[in-house]
Amino acid sequence: MQVQFCSIVPPYLLRRLAQQDAPGFSSAASAARKALGHIESFQAARAQAVPVLPPGLRQVKPGPVDRTIYDAGGEETLPGRLVREEGGRATGDAATDEAYDGLGHTHRLYADAFGRDSVDGRGMKLDATVHFGNLYDNAFWNGTQMVFGDGDGDVFDRFTKSLSVIGHELAHGVTQYSAGLAYRNQAGALNESMSDVFGALVEQYVKNQSAAQASWLIGEGLFTSKVQGQALRSMKAPGTAYDDDVLGKDPQPDSMDSYVRTSADNGGVHINSGIPNRAFYLVADALGGNAWEAPGRIWYETLTSGSLPPAATFTVFARATARAAADLFGSGSKEHDAVTGAWETVKVKV
């Protein structure tokens, strides 16, 4: 006899829920395990193969972080001299110790809030080089590690000073190992926005801040006192982070009405990221509580479910977040409404 079985919660989600052991999920986890028991017996009866989970969904309990910090000594050769290993004592060098701590906080957010084991989801070592270059006013992810400059001392202080910057760079690695969003035009702005979102969430998680308490600033504290500006970017109010006679004004748009068409900056990836940044803030603001919970889960699910193409546009992404919200919380949920409302506010067609 053929048994028709349809689970309202897709099996892949039940499996994820069943493996959650984070606080607050225990009743959901046990309900999911029960439901899976039902599904698995039906599936056995149908003798159908269980679908293979896409890489982002394979749930392994995250292991401990494994950090190594290197010092490039003002040169540009990577990785540089090893200065601090996992479990090693604080060195007293601010950049080294900030990078070490920041990597740990970022790893912890991904493990605790999303069940992700490091950047690649498989316990990858986290390496960072500090003191890169001479007066180097930047930080970046090079595909295998993070790199931090000391700033020029004129406009910028050292880049490890901001936890959101450390989280931002590591998040580029997470994107590389999941959706692989191309670093150009709208896909690139989404890539940048993902880094700002998860960078902000690391700061909020460490400070245990609600969406209402958070500053929603990226790179707060990086500017020297000479600069008229609070931060590199504001997710809450894109375009307001700085207004300085040397740097100019924060160029970020806060809606599609002021989308910037440019060939600079790989098609404005750091500029137009203001639009999806604001959308995330609006979801977090609408739902209240901690932004790494429902909003973070929706964004993380969107990034890692395997259905977001590398060349995603804002519209494709917005639709994917709405679908993720519906999958996680239901199509009539306040979470789904917050997501569709946010995209409407920033004028991205869903």
Partner 1 sequence: MKIKVERSGGIAAVTRVWTVDAQSDSDLSQWQPLVEACPWDSVPKTPRAAAEQFAEAQPDRFIYSIRAGQRRAALPEQAVTGPWRILVDSAREAAEELRAQERRDEPAPG
Interacting residues with partner 1 (CB under 8 A):
137-143, 155-156, 159, 165, 168-169, 172, 183-184, 191-192, 195, 219, 222, 232, 247-248, 251, 263-267, 270-271
Query: Rounded to the nearest whole angstrom, what is the least distance from the CB of residue 69 to partner 1 in the complex?
Result: 19
**Which residue number, 311 or 350, has a Cβ lying nearer to partner 1?**
311
**Which residue number, 103 or 271, has a Cβ lying nearer to partner 1?**
271
How far is Cα of residue 9 from the mean position of the Cα atoms in its chain?
A: 25
- For residue 185, CA distances in Å to 155, 206, 345 come to 27, 32, 21
Query: Rounded to the nearest whole angstrom, what is the least distance from the CB of residue 285 to partner 1 in the complex?
Result: 24
Tell me how far apart the 2 most distant CA atoms of the chain are, in Å: 77
Which residues are within 8 A (CB) of 43 and not within 5 positions of it... i.e. 6 or more apart? Answer: 5, 50
Catalytic residue among 169, 203, 220, 335: 169
148 vs 46: CA distance, rounded Å: 55
If 0-12 CB within 10 Å is exposed, 13-18 middle and 19+ buried, where does residue 13 land? middle
223 phi and psi angles, rounded to 5 deg: -70, 145
Query: Rounded to the nearest whole angstrom, what is the least distance from the CB of residue 209 to partner 1 in the complex?
Result: 22
Catalytic residue among 107, 168, 172, 270: 270
**Which residue number, 26 or 262, has a Cβ lying nearer to partner 1?**
262
Query: Rounded to the nearest whole angstrom, what is the least distance from the CB of residue 172 to partner 1 in the complex?
Result: 4
DSSP 304-317: HSS-S-TT--HHHH
Query: Rounded to the nearest whole angstrom, what is the least distance from the CB of residue 219 to partner 1 in the complex?
Result: 7
**Which residue number, 86 or 137, has a Cβ lying nearer to partner 1?**
137
327 vs 330: CA distance, rounded Å: 6
150 phi and psi angles, rounded to 5 deg: -90, 0
**203 an active-site residue?**
no
**Which residue number, 17 or 271, has a Cβ lying nearer to partner 1?**
271
**270 an active-site residue?**
yes
Rg (CA), the chain: 21
Query: Rounded to the nearest whole angstrom, what is the least distance from the CB of residue 86 to partner 1 in the complex?
Result: 25
Determine contact, residues 129/146, Cβ cutoff 8 Å: yes
**Which residue number, 151 or 295, has a Cβ lying nearer to partner 1?**
151
Please name the residue ranges forming H helices in the chain.
11-19, 26-46, 94-114, 163-176, 185-207, 265-268, 274-287, 294-304, 314-329, 334-345
Catalytic residues: 169, 270
